[in-house]
Amino acid sequence: MKMPKRNVVVTVGSALVDILARADEDFLAASGGVKGGMIYVAPEAIEQTLCRLAEPPAVVPGGSACNTAVGVARLGGKARFVGKRGGGPMGDYLERALKSNRVEPRLLRSEKPTGRVLSVVTPDAQRSMFTYLGAAAETRPEEIGPELFADAAIVHVEGYLLHNPALIRRTLQAARAAGARVSLDLASYNVVEAARGLLADLVRGSVDILLANEDESRAFTGEADPARALDSLRRQVEIAVVKLGARGSLIAEGNAVHAVPALGDGRALDSTGAGDLWASGFLFGLVHELPLPACGAIGAACGYEVCQVLGASIPEEGWRRIRRTLEGLGLAATGSEETICPRSFPQDRAAE
């Protein structure tokens, strides 16, 4: 696929801080979470759940689109993140973390607190999310204009924006008006189920690259077999992807279908950010005009490394291994080795 000569990947989504906690199945059930999915909650619900944890959580920059932007930048690409933050130390922390990771932050401001997500990670490495959008939910369609995407090769939109039809429509329109290709990640199977009608309307004619995992592709197409789901998706977009976890991924462009193997033996500590970082590698490869199997290989390397740690921040030793993958493809990553990846954060709720 011939990409534009632009080389910036702009991601659009919720500006969030991730709160990561390990817990067992009983804790998740008692907390009312959706296994492997996401529910929206009030901030008080997150606080109550945190109080019941046996061990303190970790706090890191988060949000699907934000994770993808950081991954692109760490690979040596040019990345920009568009979202809305609140005031106070949590918003400052998020913006500082983006800059440290060489991502250009284009953060709108709100009087509401910065959004946050509590991800409960069970022993099977599945993450179940409790989300308070806060400031992220305040983004208005009129705040998203083509000027945000003027130099973008790809505008990557997280599927969670499907909960705001006017905003996602405006984002896709602005990206197209700027001449960028549009990538959409389906985010979560329960999001797809809730917005299937809107999604079907948006995908045809507005999306070039569609990324889904097995559950999301099933929810959208109704096809349980991944190959049949991919066949349905590829008829609607230029490039379709179905990610299969430890079984690799299927990538289609036109009539060509590529099966890309996963790395490792399928073991994972935590699946948080796996799809987001897979998207980082894949989009980085597309911007550099690599063949689709090579793009998938970079995605697989990023997805594997993030599954070996708690949260969506790959440590430096993981990035070194990913760089070796890039070198094997004739590329060199130039991402900074100095990143903000703290394991705790002093939350001043009164200041928020």
Q: How far is CA 332 from CA 14, 66, 130, in A?
A: 30, 23, 37
- Counting DSSP H helices and E strands in the chain, the numbers are 12, 14
Rg (CA), the chain: 18
C-alpha of 25 from chain center: 25
CATH number of 8-15+64-116+142-328: 3.40.1190.20
* Domain locations along the chain: 8-15+64-116+142-328
Tell me, what's the pLDDT at 319?
A: 93
Eight-class DSSP state of 324: H
Q: Could you give the angle at the alpha carbon of 279 between the alpha carbons of 277 and 284, nearest 5°?
A: 100
Tell me, what's the pLDDT at 313?
A: 86
* 245, 262 contact by CB (below 8 A): yes
* 323, 78 contact by CB (below 8 A): no
pLDDT tens for the 352 residues of the chain, in order? 554 478 999 999 999 998 989 999 999 999 999 888 888 899 899 999 999 998 889 888 888 999 999 999 999 999 999 999 998 888 999 999 999 999 999 999 999 999 999 989 899 888 898 999 999 999 999 999 999 999 999 999 999 999 999 999 999 999 999 999 999 999 889 899 999 999 999 998 899 999 999 999 999 999 999 999 999 999 999 999 999 999 999 999 999 999 999 988 778 887 878 999 999 999 999 999 999 999 999 999 999 999 998 778 899 999 999 988 888 887 765 554 444 333 343 343 433 4
Amino acid at 104: E
**Phi-psi bin for 326: left (phi > 0), alpha (psi -120 to 50), beta?**
alpha
Residue 343 has φ and ψ, to the nearest 5°, of: -100, -5
